[in-house]
Every structure is written in C-alpha cells, then in structure tokens.
C-alpha cells in the first residue's frame, strides 16, 4: 500500500486564514466526517491543521510568516493516508471540505519510503 500526502491549500487573509469563526464552526463536522470516513477504512496515517505563523529559511536568510503564493494561497493543513491506488485518493479529495472556498485545492503527492536496510 502506498502512502500519500494531501496538502490542503486555501487563500489567506493578511494575518490568518480566510475562514471566519462561523465558517470554522460549520466546517468542523464536515471535516470530522470526511477524515472519519478515511479512518474507518483503516487508511488514515496522520492529519493536522497547520498554524498560520511560520518561518522560512532560504540561503542563510530567515523570514517570519508563512509562504504565500502571489494570490495569497497557502498550505493550511495536511493529511497522510494509504491506499492501493491513487484513484481512490483522488475520489476522497474531490469531496474534501476545503474545496468550498475559492482558490482552494488538494494536492496529492505519493510518499517515497526510505530504505530500511
């Protein structure tokens, strides 16, 4: 079974994510159900939201704040799951609650295991 990293991207406001407290309250049951479906199949490895603050280290330079694309899109969370095929993961991703927001996306990346010997 292959492990996959799902990166949740969303447009960010000046100093936080676009989600309002009302959106967050409405979205939480949807996230719990969506993640719970993957977990009930025994295919959830790990998931977590990501705090807005971040640090970027680049060429001996340290910048404070998250990396934002030119259109303010940034990574807001991740999920690691496992599946026998990427098509199953794509189907899960199509129903991800993040997709209700404009400029949001789910990026799916297969994880390459390190050799164990």
SS3 4: strand
- Alpha-carbon distance 68 to 70, whole Å? 6
- Alpha-carbon distance 71 to 89, whole Å? 27
What pLDDT is recorded for position 7?
A: 93
Residue 115 lies in a domain: no
Is the per-residue pLDDT at 76 higher than 90? no
pLDDT bucket at 51, cuts 50 / 70 / 90: confident
Structural domains counted in the chain: 1
What value does the CA radius of gyration of the chain take, rounded to a whole number of Å?
Answer: 16
Residues of the domain holding 12: 2-110
Is the per-residue pLDDT at 16 higher than 80? no
pLDDT bucket at 79, cuts 50 / 70 / 90: very high
Which regions of the chain does DSSP assign to beta strands (E)?
Answer: 2-11, 44-49, 55-58, 61-64, 73-83, 105-110
Is the per-residue pLDDT at 13 higher than 70? no
CATH number of the domain that residue 77 is part of = 3.30.70.1060
Confirm if 89 and 81 have CB atoms less than 8 A apart.
Answer: yes
């Amino acid at each position: 079974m292959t492990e996959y990293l799902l990166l949740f991207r969303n447009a960010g406001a000046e100093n936080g994510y676009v989600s309002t407290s009302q959106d967050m309250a409405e979205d939480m049951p949807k996230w719990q159900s969506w993640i719970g479906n993957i977990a009930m199949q025994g295919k959830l490895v790990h998931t977590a939201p990501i705090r807005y603050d971040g640090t970027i280290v680049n060429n001996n330079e340290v910048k404070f704040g998250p990396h934002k694309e030119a259109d303010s899109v940034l990574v807001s969370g991740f999920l690691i799951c496992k599946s026998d095929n990427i098509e199953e993961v794509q189907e899960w991703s199509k129903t991800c609650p993040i997709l209700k927001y404009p400029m949001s996306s789910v990026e799916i990346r297969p994880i390459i295991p390190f050799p164990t010997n």
